[in-house]
Structure 1
Amino acid sequence: MAGGEAAPLLTPGSTPARTRWSAIIAVSVAFFMLFLAFNSLQNYATSLLPGSLGSESLSVLYVSVCVFVFTAPHIAKRLGEKRTMVLGSVSYLIYMGSTIHPIRAIVLIAAVIIGFGAAILWVSVGSYITKASHPSELGRTNGMFWGIFQASGIVGNLFAYFIFEHLDGSASLFLALTAAGGVGVLILFFIPSEKTTIGTREGDDEANEGPEPSVNDVAPATPAEHLTVWQEVQKVFDILLTNRLLALGYLIIFTGLEMAFRSGEFPQLLPQKSIGMVLAFAGLGEVVGALGLSSLSDRVGCTALLWLASLTHAASMVLAIMLKNSGLPGPGPEWLGVSWIAYMASFGFGLSDALFNTQCYALIGKMFAPEHAVRAFTGFQLFQNIGSAGGYYLGVPLPMHGDKGSLGQVWIQLFLLVTGTLLYTWADLRYGRRPPTTPDVRHEIDGASLDPHPTNTSSST
């Protein structure tokens, strides 16, 4: 824009609400199809790919996300959100396609490619939905997106369960899932560009009629930042080194570790034919946690729901240990060839995962002002993917399944869970109750050299 002014969230225009909501629904359905395929494949990869290739490739995937996440904002600005989403989603097809007839080197290279794609995909979809939403609709639009997206965990696993026994081996299953993911990519090709979806809702002009705002009511324009990739990396690390985000680091790393355990190690405690049905209960837990319980944090506080998540995860882990020690199919009663405790553990893992993630997001949103939020959430992605990479790797030297299985992963999770829960509680009490836009809080965060143009340029010795 002229004069170096930052572009507003919504520009005055006449984009009909129907157009913008249709775009958001289309993106939601595209992600539903893409992750219906990928998450189901991820759950089966450690069990069906030869040797430890499944765990190794998923570990490589999340390590590469940690590397590429810093470049994602730069790429999204260059290509635009729609093109970036298409590029990122194609990388998922490359990885899924490599598992149909797995060759070790190709699968590992594809894991690096999808790591790059995942990093840019999630940055661009958040920006796209924000641009397509009026500020008063952000809660509804994001809630709808996440609700539709999380439902993929239910449908995808049920899909895999019902077709698995009718397919000729894992190659046919992975081919079917790759085709389903291709539908999601195809939908993204036809969504409107972000430029089309920017605009005000129909009727906004009438709703906003009133006295002319005074000069004091108008926020001053701020210069747009034009940063290199390296400068952006430095700013993210400045945020990472604040006490606010470091306090959440243990819990965020744990969320990656528990996700890897739930989708990588836990399925190996189950009969192959029952994996899809059991993990569908994890998807159900995700939906209940995200849509049914997470909103309660506005009334009871983030810490209360975080403790609920911690206790639920601990109880689910106890059930998983019982399943391991008793051997298949596990203590009765049974349903579809596996003990009831497998379904209860899976539901608990999904419920706690949803609460862990939503409450971390909520507290970060409380602790950081809007101008710092993007970098804070980039730090969240870095910590979480470090945990995911470590979780999949731990499945190789410290497997829980099998005759030589141990509880090594359980003890590591327990340490991070207890430490992370206590530090989260401290951070909420210390930082979560103060508005992040007050001058003292801004000074505290900006003291980490976040401002590339400091106003005080005097030197001191």
Structure 2
Amino acid sequence: MVDKRTVNVIHLGFGFMLVFTAFQTFGNMEKTILDSIRKDDDSFHGDGYISLALIYAMLAVGNWVAPSIIGGLGPRLSMVIGSITYLLFIGSFLFPKTWLLYVASALVGLGASIIWTGQGNYLTLNSDEFTMARNSGIFWALFQSSMLYGNFFVFMVFQGKSHIDEGTKNLVSGVLAAVCGLGVGLLVLLRPSVGTDGQALARRVVGPVEAFTEAIKLFSEKEMILLCFTFLYTGLAQTFYSGVYSPSIAATLDISEDPKRLMGLSGLFIGIGEIFGGVVFGLLGAKTVRWGRSPIVILGFVVNVATYFLIFLNIPNEAPLRETHEAAYIQSNPYIAVLCSGLLGFSDSCFNTQIYAAIGTIFSERSVPAFAIFKFTQSLSAAIAFVYSLYIGLYIHIAILIGWVLLGTITFCITEAMVKRRKELDEDSQEDSGAS
């Protein structure tokens, strides 16, 4: 029988799958939808990149408050409150107003800081050093399956459309809002965290000042400083695959007869890559603990660099900025574009599953501030990336990503080596004490 802790992780994964089926689908197509609204409504001036930048900027700020909220309310109630902000954000697209878009964006950014810090804490409480890698993989596969359903729906609805009309926009917004509502309901029903004996864990109540101080102290530790470079890269990568790459395919007018439809297919294959990585690393969790997490991160690095090179060849430089007939280095090919989407998803899962496992084991007793710092640095870099995405072409995007993936991989491997060395010294010290 599956133990209660694993059931809790699976329940958590399904809740996030439904909430983010709605939100990740919107993130993937928000720029395209808002561009269409502006063409139909002269009074609307909302921009997808600005909205996403605001979301991640508020997420970065909110992560310094999130530990205090989770310390007072606990991870389950905190995740419910955070998920409701996603529902409000999606619902705002039914009433397109510039001010409402940006208010909802700021609100969901704050909600995201709460839901993600709560998720990391809840996942850690239901895991140990032997199951953390497996549970991270299980959660990641379920969570990222959200990329399949929403994007398949968009792929079908957007078929043959060069312009997203109001009826189509309302249909997509209404259906995804309903799906998000189901996800909120699942999180409401989430059971308390349990220990290895199957008994509910007593909740650790932390005051707001203590929680904030704990986060500040942790941020100054050597291991966390090094890991922050990896966190920063994942934010840049998230911006690229979730808000830049798929719209760039849609903006490459010569890639196919129906480039808007390819945007949904791109998101679908990003999800397939994410799920494949989550399943593989979840199944191999018990084996990868023995060899460490660095080999999987190095695999993600190699796949990333190869993928960025293919995108460099296949997509024109102007595509992130505007619809274009500009030629790429090769004839833009829809099959290569979609293949790169899958590879982006897989490489992202290489990094994120191992980050979750690393945080959950290295900082197991301080998982709330650790996950808050992770999401702070990740969302800060994502916010910055969405701002500069307003101005730069594809080639500069790729140059930035390659530089940061190299740095992030090196610092992750250094951290792993430091932790392994310290563990070996502790074991030797205990053996010496036992012998004496």
TM-score by length of structure 1 reads 0.75
User: Does 1:320 find its partner at 2:311?
Assistant: yes
Question: Counterpart of 2:421 in 1: which secondary structure?
Answer: coil
Tell me, in whole angstroms, the C-alpha distance in 2 between the residues paired with 1:430 and 1:132: 26
Q: What's 1:112 paired with? A: 106
Following TM superposition, by how much is the alpha carbon of 1:433 offset from its aligned partner in structure 2, in angstroms? Answer: 3.3
Tell me, in whole angstroms, the C-alpha distance in 2 between the residues paired with 1:192 and 1:184: 11
Q: What's 2:253 paired with? A: none
Deviation readout 1:103-152 (Å, 9 max, x if unpaired): 12111111111111111112333444555679986666554333222211
Label 1:249 to 1:59 Cα distance change in 2 as closer, same or farther (>3 A): same
Alignment of 1:97-136 (within 5 A): 97-129=91-123
Contact 1:24 1:141 in 2 (8 A): yes
Label 1:98 to 1:229 Cα distance change in 2 as closer, same or farther (>3 A): same
Deviation readout 1:230-289 (Å, 9 max, x if unpaired): 443232222222222222222210110011011111012222211111221111111121
Structure 2, unaligned runs of 5 or more: 36-44, 250-258, 318-324, 430-436
What residue identity is the alignment partner of 1:43?
N
Tell me, in whole angstroms, the C-alpha distance in 2 between the residues paired with 1:32 and 1:416: 29
**Counterpart pick for 2:17 among 26, 32, 44:** 32
User: Does 1:356 find its partner at 2:351?
Assistant: yes
Contact 1:147 1:290 in 2 (8 A): yes
Contact 1:313 1:349 in 2 (8 A): yes
Tell me, in whole angstroms, the C-alpha distance in 2 between the residues paired with 1:143 and 1:425: 20
Q: What's 1:194 paired with? A: 192
- Aligned-pair identity in percent equals 25
| Greater length-normalized contact order (CA 8 Å, ≥ 6 residues apart) | 2
Contact 2:232 2:377 in 1 (8 A): yes
What residue identity is the alignment partner of 1:281?
F
Task: Name the structure where helix makes up a greater proportion of residues.
Answer: 2
Following TM superposition, by how much is the alpha carbon of 1:155 offset from its aligned partner in structure 2, in angstroms? Answer: 2.2
Q: What's 2:375 paired with? A: 381
Deviation readout 1:58-84 (Å, 9 max, x if unpaired): 111111111111222322243343332
Deviation readout 1:159-190 (Å, 9 max, x if unpaired): 2212333983333322222222122123333x
What residue identity is the alignment partner of 2:338?
Y
Q: What's 1:257 paired with? A: 236
Tell me, in whole angstroms, the C-alpha distance in 1 between the residues paired with 2:275 and 2:344: 12
Tell me, in whole angstroms, the C-alpha distance in 1 between the residues paired with 2:74 and 2:366: 21
Q: CA RMSD in A?
A: 3.4
Tell me, in whole angstroms, the C-alpha distance in 2 between the residues paired with 1:93 and 1:131: 27
Q: What's 2:402 paired with? A: 414
Label 1:139 to 1:249 Cα distance change in 2 as closer, same or farther (>3 A): closer
Alignment of 1:209-288 (within 5 A): 228-270=207-249, 271-288=259-276
Q: What's 2:33 paired with? A: 48
Following TM superposition, by how much is the alpha carbon of 1:40 offset from its aligned partner in structure 2, in angstroms? Answer: 0.6
Q: What's 1:10 paired with? A: none
Following TM superposition, by how much is the alpha carbon of 1:372 offset from its aligned partner in structure 2, in angstroms? Answer: 3.6
Contact 1:161 1:276 in 2 (8 A): yes
Contact 1:134 1:200 in 2 (8 A): no
Tell me, in whole angstroms, the C-alpha distance in 2 between the residues paired with 1:192 and 1:225: 18
The number of residue pairs the alignment matches comes to: 393
Tell me, in whole angstroms, the C-alpha distance in 2 between the residues paired with 1:408 and 1:186: 42
Q: What's 1:179 paired with? A: 178
Tell me, in whole angstroms, the C-alpha distance in 2 between the residues paired with 1:394 and 1:136: 41
What residue identity is the alignment partner of 2:414?
W
Deviation readout 1:290-347 (Å, 9 max, x if unpaired): 221463633443222222111111111112122223968989999xxx6211111111
What residue identity is the alignment partner of 1:176?
V
Deviation readout 1:374-430 (Å, 9 max, x if unpaired): 333322121111111112112112143xxxxxx222222222222222232333333
Q: What's 1:392 paired with? A: 386
Label 1:301 to 1:363 Cα distance change in 2 as closer, same or farther (>3 A): same
**Counterpart pick for 1:434 among 389, 397, 422:** 422
Tell me, in whole angstroms, the C-alpha distance in 1 between the residues paired with 2:353 and 2:132: 15
Q: What's 1:305 paired with? A: 296
**Counterpart pick for 1:65 among 59, 67, 76:** 59
What residue identity is the alignment partner of 2:94?
I
Tell me, in whole angstroms, the C-alpha distance in 2 between the residues paired with 1:436 and 1:87: 42
User: Does 1:94 find its partner at 2:88?
Assistant: yes
Alignment of 1:8-19 (within 5 A): none
Contact 1:46 1:52 in 2 (8 A): no
Q: What's 1:404 paired with? A: none
Structure 1, unaligned runs of 5 or more: 1-15, 203-223, 401-406, 442-461
What residue identity is the alignment partner of 1:95?
F
Question: Counterpart of 1:431 in 2: which secondary structure?
Answer: helix
Tell me, in whole angstroms, the C-alpha distance in 1 between the residues paired with 2:59 and 2:428: 34
Label 1:358 to 1:328 Cα distance change in 2 as closer, same or farther (>3 A): farther
Q: Which of 169-178 and 252-261 deviates more?
A: 169-178
Tell me, in whole angstroms, the C-alpha distance in 1 between the residues paired with 2:124 and 2:264: 33
Label 1:242 to 1:82 Cα distance change in 2 as closer, same or farther (>3 A): closer
Label 1:332 to 1:183 Cα distance change in 2 as closer, same or farther (>3 A): farther
Label 1:98 to 1:288 Cα distance change in 2 as closer, same or farther (>3 A): same
Tell me, in whole angstroms, the C-alpha distance in 2 between the residues paired with 1:299 and 1:344: 32
Contact 1:81 1:194 in 2 (8 A): no
Deviation readout 1:182-232 (Å, 9 max, x if unpaired): 22123333x15528x789449xxxxxxxxxxxxxxxxxxxxx987543443
What residue identity is the alignment partner of 2:155?
Y
What residue identity is the alignment partner of 2:388?
L
What residue identity is the alignment partner of 1:352?
S
